[in-house]
Amino acid sequence: MAFILALDQGTTSSRALVFDEAGRVRALAQREFTQHFPQPGWVEHDPEEIWQTQAQVAVEAVQKAGLTGVDIRAIGIANQRETTLVWDRATGRPIHRAIVWQDRRTADACDRLRARGVEGLIQRKTGLVVDPYFSGTKAAWLLDHVDGARERAERGELAFGTIDTWLAHRLTGGALHVTDASNASRTMLFDIHAGRWDDELCGGIGVPRAVLPEVRSSGEVLGEALAIPELEGVPIASLVGDQQAATFGQVCVEPGMAKNTYGTGCFLLMNTGDTARASQNRLLSTVAWRRDDATSYALEGAVFVGGAAVQWLRDGLGVIDQAPDIEALANEAPDSGGLYFVPALAGLGSPHWDPHAAGTIVGITRGTTRAHLARATLDAIAHQVADLVEAMSADAGAPLSELRVDGGAAANDLLMQTQADLLGVPVVRPETLETTALGAAYLAGLAVGYWGGVEQIAANWKADRRFEPRRSPDDVKCARERWRDAVARALGWGRGAVDAS
Q: Residue 458 Cβ, how far from ligand ADP at the closest point, in Å?
A: 23
Check if the beta carbon of residue 340 is closer than 8 Å to that of residue 363.
Answer: yes
Hey, which bits of 388-426 come out as E strands? 403-406
Paired strand residues for 7: 16, 77
Q: Which of 76, 136, 307, 349 binds ligand ADP (CB under 6 A)?
A: 307
Q: Which of 59, 364, 411, 454 binds ligand ADP (CB under 6 A)?
A: 411
Closest residue to ligand ADP in the complex (CB) = 408
Examine residue 182 and tell whether it contacts ligand ADP (CB under 6 A).
no
Q: Which of 408, 439, 445, 494 binds ligand ADP (CB under 6 A)?
A: 408
Q: Residue 278 Cβ, how far from ligand ADP at the closest point, in Å?
A: 28
Nearer of residues 395 and 406 to ligand ADP, judged by Cβ: 406
Upper half-sphere CA count for residue 65 (Cβ side, 13 Å): 27
487: Cβ contacts below 8 Å, ≥ 6 apart: 342, 348, 352
Stretch that binds ligand ADP, among 45-53, 91-99, 405-413, 459-467 (CB under 6 A): 405-413
Check if the beta carbon of residue 240 is closer than 8 Å to that of residue 77.
Answer: yes
Residues counted in the chain: 501
Beta sheet of 3-9, edge-to-edge order: 25-32, 13-19, 3-9, 72-79, 235-241, 219-224
Residues numbered 315 to 354 that lie near ligand ADP (CB under 6 A) are 323-324, 326-327
Helix boundaries (H) for 156-198: 163-171, 181-184
Examine residue 83 and tell whether it contacts ligand ADP (CB under 6 A).
no
Q: Residue 381 Cβ, how far from ligand ADP at the closest point, in Å?
A: 8
Residues numbered 226 to 265 that lie near ligand ADP (CB under 6 A) are 263-264
Integer angstrom CA distances of residue 322 from 127, 207, 328, 496: 37, 41, 11, 34
Stretch that binds ligand ADP, among 9-17, 43-51, 109-117, 472-480 (CB under 6 A): 9-17
Total site size for ligand ADP, rule CB under 6 A: 19
Examine residue 308 and tell whether it contacts ligand ADP (CB under 6 A).
yes
Examine residue 279 and tell whether it contacts ligand ADP (CB under 6 A).
no
Examine residue 494 and tell whether it contacts ligand ADP (CB under 6 A).
no
Q: Residue 83 Cβ, how far from ligand ADP at the closest point, in Å?
A: 12
Q: Residue 308 Cβ, how far from ligand ADP at the closest point, in Å?
A: 5
Check if the beta carbon of residue 83 is closer than 8 Å to that of residue 46.
Answer: no
Examine residue 432 and tell whether it contacts ligand ADP (CB under 6 A).
no
Residues numbered 363 to 392 that lie near ligand ADP (CB under 6 A) are none
Examine residue 407 and tell whether it contacts ligand ADP (CB under 6 A).
yes
3-state secondary structure of 197: strand
Check if the beta carbon of residue 343 is closer than 8 Å to that of residue 489.
Answer: no
Distance CA 132, CA 102 (A): 8
Examine residue 41 and tell whether it contacts ligand ADP (CB under 6 A).
no
Distance CA 362, CA 374 (A): 14
Examine residue 207 and tell whether it contacts ligand ADP (CB under 6 A).
no
Q: Which of 5, 6, 7, 11 binds ligand ADP (CB under 6 A)?
A: 11
Cis check for the bond before 430: say yes or no (omega within 30 of 0): no
The two beta strands, 427-430 and 266-273, are: unpaired
Q: Residue 21 Cβ, how far from ligand ADP at the closest point, in Å?
A: 24
Angle (deg, nearest 10), helices 473-490 and 413-423 = 100
Report the interface residues with ligand ADP, using CB under 6 A. Answer: 10-13, 263-264, 307-308, 310-311, 323-324, 326-327, 407-409, 411-412
